[in-house]
Amino acid sequence: MVKLIKYLKPFAGQIFIIFLLLFTQAMTDLSLPSYMSRIVNVGIQQGGIRNAVPEVIRASEMAKLTLFMDDNAQAAVSDDYILLDKDKLSPDDYAQYLRDYPALAVGAIYKLDTSEPAEIDKLDGILGGPMLIVTTIQQGGISAFTGGELVLPEGVDPFDLLAQMPSAQLAAIREMAAEQLASAPESMITQSAVGYVAAEYQAIGIDVGHIQTRYILSVGGRMLLLALLGAACSISVGFISARIAAAFARDTRRKVFVRVGNFSNSEFDKFSTASLITRSTNDIQQIQMVLVMLLRFVFYAPIIGIGGVIMALGQNVSISWIIAAAVMAVLSLVSVVFLVSMPKFKLMQKLVDRLNLVTREILTGLMVVRAFNTQGYEERKFDRANVNLTGNQLFVNRVMVFMMPAMMLIMNGVMLSVIWFGAKQVDLGAMQVGNMMAFMQYTMQIIMAFMMVSMVFIMLPRAAVSAQRISEVLETELVINDPENPQRFGGDIKGQVEFQGVSFKYPEAEDYVLRDISFIAQPGQTTAFIGGTGSGKSTLVNLIPRFYDVTEGKILINNIDIRDVTQHDLRDRIGYIPQRTVLFSGTIESNIKYANENASGGEVEKAAEIAQALDFIQKSESGFETTVAQGGANLSGGQKQRLSIARALVKRPEVYIFDDSFSSIDFKTDAALRRALKKETGDSTVLIVGQRISTIMNADQIIVLDKGRIVGKGTHKTLMESCEVYRELALSQLSKEELIS
Amino acid sequence: MSMRQGDSSQFGRGTQPRGPGRPFGPGGGHPGMMGSGEKPRNFKNTMKNLIQYLKPYRVSIIFVLVLSILSTVFSIIGPKIMGKATTKLFEGLVAKVSHVPGAAIDFTYIGHIVLALIGLYAFGSLCAYFQGYIMAGVSMKVTYNLRKSISEKINRLPLKYFDTQAYGDVLSRVTNDVDTVGMNLNQSLSQIVSSVTMIIGVLAMMFSISWLMTVVVLLVLPMSSVFVTFVVRRTQIYFKRQQDYLGHVNGHVEEMYSGHNVMKAFNGEEKSIKQFDGLNKELYGAAWRSQFFSGIMMPVTQFIGNLGYVAVCIMGGYLAIKRTIEVGDIQAFIQYVRSFTMPIAQVANIANVIQSAAAAAERVFEFLAEEEETPEVTRPVKLDRVTGRVTFNEVYFGYIPDKTIISCFSADVKSGQKVAIVGPTGAGKTTIVKLLMRFYDVNKGSIMVDGVDIRELRRRDLRSTFGMVLQDAWLFNDTIRENIRYGRLNATDDEVIAAAKTAYVDHFIHALPHGYDMEINEEASNISQGQKQLLTIARAVLADPKILILDEATSSVDTRTEVLIQQAMEQLLKGRTSFIIAHRLSTIRNADIILVMNNGEIVEQGNHRELLAANGFYASLYYSQFESYNPK
């Protein structure tokens, strides 16, 4: 995984934007519960009144509060409030104010004259205490603050009394009150101050219900905007991450494809074709999927996780352990489930493969099974595979089934803990009910984030394997490279092919496949190679287009070592007809022209004619425009081989290599084809690998291979006399009389 | 019968096995989410069949349904009760703040609620777990039974069936389709019940709290389902497109990699990269769109969920002031709204899930309903001692009823005689073999063994009189010993070794690592073609049949093995009637009867001399071999 990260560099800017967006999204997600908490705390519980700073207050009430303020506080308050008095206002202003504050008719009113949050905060601290004291005095008399020394006579307003007190005595009472206030919990002060303000508003004649509704709506409105912002962020993240992932997949796919295009057979052998295909396709899809997950969820989780913790801590520190416990519980649940099911998960693919194998065996051996009456045996074998697979699936399913209920239990347990321990905190006044409810939501969000991460971590190992496989391809050193200062073949060359003491072994193999091979194939002549399977005849000709490089010795074309020219130049000189016919999807014409795009229609037709392909091409309805399906699936083996020969012919190369290219062509066509070829190839060097004696027996030079060594070299006639291996081969195919006739 | 994989290649002609098309297992793919878009053709019938398979487990299933309802109900009433605790807390607090005398938070009450809830939730989770536990068991058993039925069905199907079916198709039914059925069964059955219970229950609870808020929520939430349907539809389009383009890219990659020698030999690298770039660009466009659209679902549903959340907060706040509802109710309501979206999405999705399950189940049941081999005769004849005389009596046969390829073929093969079947590749030489073994029945006329029509015999009895060695040597993934023993399953180890000696393979086997206990690998590629052939000969030796069917080797094995195979075959043929699909001239010339086949038909019959004299197809075939070195 780490190795692929460097390929993400071009997307760094976009990833940074994603990061910012996710951050915003997390902030909005996290602030929603705190807004809800405000609706409960302020909106419902405090009637929409935010703090102890009244918008307006009767002058008479202000006088009472002022009694419990020191000089500094009094000065601060009088700075921020202006007095509305019937006598001092213009009639217009008066009428307007009266509509808002009916109590103005009765007496003067102070109106708040600031909207600075800092100033209001300061006032909140100043006014809260006196309000609580005033409320207490109004409800229970003054005795609470005078230590019971002072008993009021009936009908005397305690505030009048206080107002008349000497300032020293008043200061003493103020001090005593302050002491008591210090021990009261903060929320207590706020709550009663809010109650005081509400009562005051009512007295002034303001519609309190309206304030409350307005408050709830304004908070709700802000919540809506936040939700919208969050959704917008999230969608943008989805958009950018989808594009990054797809672009990353596109670029990586291209890199891999180009890289593999440069691979020689050695690298193909190392990886196997099937595996390379998977690496270029499925593995990259896999990475693309995980990348999206990574960008959208894995980045998001820590942001919301940390943010959630901070927010939750802001609500109340002392029950935050619940979050830690919940996260621990989730993590241990996931890891236990993961650990228990992992071995069985790994086993799963094997068991599926086994079932597939058994089924495939039954299907491929249908006739054999029936011929030997072993249906019962096969059914038992299938049953074993079936039992093992379903048993394993059952186990994994049951472990997975455990996940959901356990998860629910943890979630619900967390909720209950928050309620129980939160209630205690509320009782102590350290927390409000709305905050407790918000705390619950935070906890859920945090748990969800961790869940998401752990799910991704389950996916990650698979993606890591894919990433590893891709980077293996990208980092493979090429075995066959072009020389730094290549020679050139020049315009007019003869295609003489010479092997000088060539030995070859496959990379990392122990044994040599070819040993000490030397021969010269002359232009205008046919050189044939024959031998049993594993004799190395096909390997030998595959060295010429440099599909592999020789291990020892050298190969010369026109007296130049083939490693001294570029691969492009070398292959331009060779017409190669492979053992396993390869056609590309397209048309018959596009396949023949694959060797030489500039070939004219006439040339294509000529090549097809020589390859004995013209007949069947013309019989087909669309002629040369006939579609060729992938791999040439719609053509027979013989037709494919003939097209593959035509393709090489249209190139008019100096060297022809027929790697066992006549095997699917029937005897008659084979003979006709070789007669036509003989005329066409003219001065070119022709190399033929054959299995049928009849195919090669007319060659100018026959090279007999056995176990990688040349054991005979000559014509059919000389070899029949001198070479034991050749004779054996010939006799196994044709009878004595036939060989002599 | 559809050919789903577009593979018309006939079975048994060396087509490569096709792996299952899609990765297996839980977590592989998105079950249901994207909806395969495949629809069953006959939904009702398929369901009826499926229910048949579920019937034995009806008690368990009823249990599952009850448990699922229980656990859902518990999870529904939870929030309401929890809300009560919050309300109590709030009331206590307000009373305390308002200095009501003796006011305190009622912790005993809250404690009771918390305890009750712990019990409730624990029990609910337990129900949910057992529900899943039992259901997993049931669906696995159904999966198991379906697979077993398929495997048994394979052996009862006539070979004819596989002429038109790629076996990758059967393979994908055994794994993918059965898996899809099992997985969806596991999910959907309990999910339908719990989702529906959830929706009804939550609705009821919400109404009981406040009808006004419920109406608001009900106005908001359908928006989300409308949106989800829209997005799903869009996503499917792009997913399909992505899949298509992916197919193009994969196709090109596959083509170029497997043909890379040719590509390089003709310097086609640049051309291929140019083509790749075009395809890759198209794929990119479809890929990010499909990713984006599938990813948009979550934030938007979340947003709509948040809308509901805000609406509940505002309404709830308003109603709480009016004292219509309690603070705890808001909390409960929020939880309900949050748990309301999921079952709705599930129910919306379930139609897809069921549909793809039904489509998969249909393919399985279709296979199980295929016509089987004609039943055995009620009173079969038993052959005591087979001499090996085989008579063809005016046999007519065609793979397709109206295309007769063997017309009025008669021949009398006496005990111990050798019959060679010759003809170019693809001439249908195995047809005779298939008729003899009764893989196919003749259309008209009869084939008799020792004077008894083979249709009067039980198939097993008939087939046990034959031994068969095919060119495409069939070995399976087990030890060499077991592979030989396959010829007669109750053979002792000594008999196995004796057979191996007769087939000249004992020496070979000893040279292999682990000898007789060497395991043949899955592709049967760890021993050579020639060795495989020898093993199948040993197998036939062990079976000791009266009549032999042999397919001579054409593939080039090295000369020494070739000689061994020759010798082993000679050994095997001694004293037995034999039918040989022959390639070697020496075999053909020595045959008592030569059947010449071309284009699926028997065109000539007679011995070597007679056929040459007739100067027909056989003669031209024979002489064409030498044309190459007869210059004129």
At A671-692, the pLDDT tens digits run 788 888 888 887 889 999 887 7
Kindly list the residues from chain A whose CB atom is less than 8 angstroms away from the CB atom of residue B460: 373
* A265 touches B at CB < 8 Å: yes
Q: What is the pLDDT of residue A733?
A: 65
Q: Are A594 and A646 in contact (CB under 8 A)?
A: no
pLDDT band at A739 (very low <50, low <70, confident <90, very high): low
Q: Rounded to a whole number, what is the distance in Å from the CA of A365 to chain B's nearest CA?
A: 6
Higher pLDDT, residue A583 or A579:
A583
Which B positions 122-161 lie with beta carbon below 8 A of chain A? 122, 124-126, 128-129, 132-133, 135-137, 139-141, 143-144, 147-148, 151-152, 154-155, 159
Given a cut of 80, whether residue A392 has pLDDT beyond it is yes
Rounded to the nearest 10°, the torsion over CA B52, B54, B58, B63 is: -160
CB distance from A722 to chain B under 8 Å? Answer: no
The rounded Cα B110 to chain-centroid distance in angstroms is: 57
Q: How far is CA A60 from CA A136, A139, A160, B36, B509, in A?
A: 17, 18, 11, 77, 116
Mean pLDDT of A210-232: 87
Can you tell me the ipTM of this complex? Answer: 0.78
Amino acid at B616: G
B467: three-class secondary structure by DSSP: strand
Cβ of residue A214 closer than 8 Å to a chain B Cβ: no
Contacts of A209 in chain B (CB under 8 A): 321
CATH number at residue B90: 1.20.1560.10
Q: Does residue B89 belong to any structural domain of this protein?
A: yes
Q: Indicate whether B174 belongs to any domain.
A: yes
Is residue B35 predicted with pLDDT exceeding 50?
Answer: no
**Candidates B68, B72, B140, partner chain A, best to mutate (most A CBs within 10 A):** B140
pLDDT of residue B264: 84
**In the prediction, which pLDDT does A236 show?**
92
Q: B350, exposed or middle or buried, with CB in 10 Å at 0-12, 13-18, 19+?
A: buried
pLDDT-derived band at A151, boundaries 50, 70, 90: low
Instruction: Say which of B126, B174, B253 has its CB closest to residue A281.
Output: B253
Q: Tell me which residue of B167, B141, B139, B164 sits closest to B154, measured CA to CA.
A: B167
Q: Is A695 on the interface with B (CB under 8 A)?
A: yes
How far is A366 from A362, CA to CA, in rounded Å? 6
Query: Is the pLDDT assigned to residue A104 strictly greater than 90?
Result: no
Radius of gyration of chain A (CA): 46
- Helix H, strand E, coil C: the string for A190-215 is HHHHHHHHHHHHHHHCCCHHHHHHHH
Indicate the DSSP class of residue B381: B
For residue A73, give both structure tokens: 């506080």
A721-730, B93-102, B300-309, B527-536: least confident range: B93-102
Q: Shortest CA distance to A720 belongs to which of A700, A693, A695?
A: A693
Q: Which residues of A touch B486 (CB under 8 A)?
A: 368, 372, 374, 377
pLDDT value for A372: 85
Where is pLDDT greater, at A229 or A37?
A: A229
Let me know: does A323 contact A312? Beta carbons within 8 Å: yes
Which pLDDT value is given to residue B223?
73
The verdict on a CB contact (< 8 Å) between B306 and A697 is no
Mean pLDDT of chain A: 83
Closest by alpha carbon to B8, among B151, B176, B169? B169
In-domain check, residue B114 = yes
Interface test with B, best of A35, A285, A360 (most B CBs within 10 A): A360
Any bridge partners for residue B597, and if so which?
A: B602
Asked whether residue A727 carries a pLDDT value surpassing 60, the answer given is yes
Does this model's pTM top 0.80? no
Question: Which member of A363, A568, A694 has the closest CB to residue B625?
Answer: A694
- In the predicted model, is pLDDT for residue B31 greater than 50? no
What the block records as the tokens of A689 is: 């690998």
| Cβ contact B209:B333 at 8 Å | yes
Query: Dihedral of CA B260/B265/B270/B274: which sign?
Result: negative
Residue B170 is nearest to which of A257, A363, A716, comparing CB atoms?
A363
Using an 8 Å CB-CB cutoff, list chain A residues near B170. 359, 363
Retrieve residue B469's tokens.
Answer: 């060695």
Residue B52 lies in a domain: yes
One-character DSSP codes across B76-107? HHHHHHHHHHHHHHHHHHHHHHTT-TT----H
Q: What are the residues facing A688 on neighbouring strands?
A: A528, A658
Kindly list the residues from chain B whose CB atom is less than 8 angstroms away from the CB atom of residue A437: 86, 330-331
> Do the domain assignments include residue B539?
no
pLDDT beyond 70 at B84: yes
Rg, Å, chain B Cα set: 36
CA distance A432 to chain B (A): 9
- Closest by Cα among B150, B184, B144 to B169: B150
Give the confidence band of B161 by pLDDT, cuts at 50, 70, 90.
confident
More confident site: B426 or A523: A523
β-strand partners of B596: B422, B604
Which residues in chain B touch residue A265, judged by CB atoms under 8 angstroms apart?
261
pLDDT digits (tens, 9 = 90+) for A476-530: 888 888 888 888 887 677 888 999 999 998 877 777 889 999 999 999 889 999 8
Model confidence at B332, pLDDT cuts 50, 70, 90, reads confident
Name the one residue in this structure whose structure tokens are 């802000």: A222
Distance CA A702, CA A40 (A): 99
What pLDDT was estimated at residue A1?
Answer: 60
Look at the block and give the residue holding tokens 């794929």.
B283
Q: What is the mean pLDDT of residues B360-381?
A: 86
Using one digit for the tens of pLDDT, what is the confidence trace for A405-435?
888 888 888 888 988 888 888 888 777 777 8
Q: Is residue B285 part of a domain?
A: no
Q: Which residue has the tokens 């919940």?
A: A326
Nearest by CB to residue B276, choosing from A257, A420, A738, is A257
**Higher local confidence (pLDDT), A389 or A631:** A389
Tell me which residue of A444, A440, A460 sits closest to A298, measured CA to CA.
Answer: A460
Neighbours of A409 (CB within 10 A): 20
pLDDT attached to residue A383: 94
Closest-CA residue of B relative to A136 is B99
Domain that holds residue B132: 41-150+161-208
pLDDT score at B95 = 78
Interchain pair A231, B20: CB under 8 A: no
Counting residues of chain B whose pLDDT is more than 70, the rounded percentage is 87
User: Does pLDDT of B23 surpass 50?
Assistant: no
Whether the Cβ atoms of residue B324 and residue B209 lie closer than 8 Å to each other:
no
CA dist B432 and B438 (Å) reads 10
Number of residues written out for chain A: 741
pLDDT at B283 exceeding the cut of 60: yes
Other C-beta atoms closer than 10 Å to the C-beta of B488 total 20
Please tell me whether residue A133 adopts helix, strand or coil conformation. helix
Contact A574 B265 (CB under 8 A): yes
B327 chain-A contacts, CB cut-off 8 A: 40, 44, 433
The tally of domains found in chain B comes to 1
Nearest-angstrom CA–CA distance, B218 and A295: 34
| Domains of chain A in sequence order | 2-7+263-475 (1.20.1560.10), 51-206 (no CATH), 494-573+656-716 (3.40.50.300), 579-652 (3.40.50.300)
Mutate to test the interface with A, among B129, B272, B312, B622 (most CBs of A within 10 A): B129
- pLDDT exceeds 70 at position A741: no
Say whether residue A355 is in contact with chain B using an 8 A CB cutoff.
yes
A402 touches chain B (CB under 8 A): yes
Q: Looking at residue B276, what is its pLDDT?
A: 92
Position B34 pLDDT exceeds 50: no
CA torsion A453→A458→A462→A464, rounded to 10°? Answer: 40
8 Å CB contact of A292 and B291: yes
Beta-strand runs (E) in A487-611:
497-504, 514-521, 526-530, 552-557, 560-561, 574-577, 586-587
A480/B contact by beta carbon, under 8 A? no
Taking 50 as the threshold, does the pLDDT of residue B381 lie above it?
yes
The pLDDT assigned to B8 comes to 33
List strand residue ranges (DSSP E) for A342-408, in order.
none
| B26/A contact by beta carbon, under 8 A | yes
Sheet holding A109-112, edge to edge: A56-58, A109-112, A81-84
B144, B324 Cβ separation under 8 angstroms = no
A163 has a pLDDT exceeding 90 = no
How far apart (Å, rounded) are the C-alpha atoms in residues B396 and B605? 16
Cβ(B473)–Cβ(B554) under 8 Å? no
Q: Do A367 and B468 touch (CB under 8 A)?
A: yes
The overall average pLDDT reported for chain B is 80
Residue B603's contacts (CB-CB under 8 Å, 6 or more residues apart) are B423, B596, B597, B616, B617
Distance CA B166, CA B3 (A): 8
Q: Of B495, B493, B498, B532, which Cα lies nearest the Cα of B512?
A: B532
Tell me, yes or no, whether B505 lies in a domain: no
The whole-angstrom distance between A359's CA and the closest CA on chain B is: 7
Q: Point out the residue among A43, A390, A532 whose CB comes nearest to the CB of B556.
A: A532
Q: What pLDDT was estimated at residue A738? A: 54
Encoded tokens for A456: 């991704």
Please identify among residues 505-564 of chain A the ones whose CB lies closer than 8 Å to any CB of chain B. Answer: 532-535, 542, 545, 547
CB B480 within 8 A of CB B509: yes
Q: Is B383 on the interface with A (CB under 8 A)?
A: no
CB contact under 8 A, A246 and B277: no
Q: Give yes or no for A426 touching B (CB within 8 A).
A: yes
- Is position B66 within any domain? yes
- Token pair for residue A412? 């619900």
pLDDT band at B19 (very low <50, low <70, confident <90, very high): very low
At A345-376, the pLDDT tens digits run 778 878 888 888 888 888 888 888 888 888 88
Q: What's the whole-number mean pLDDT along residues B161-186?
A: 79
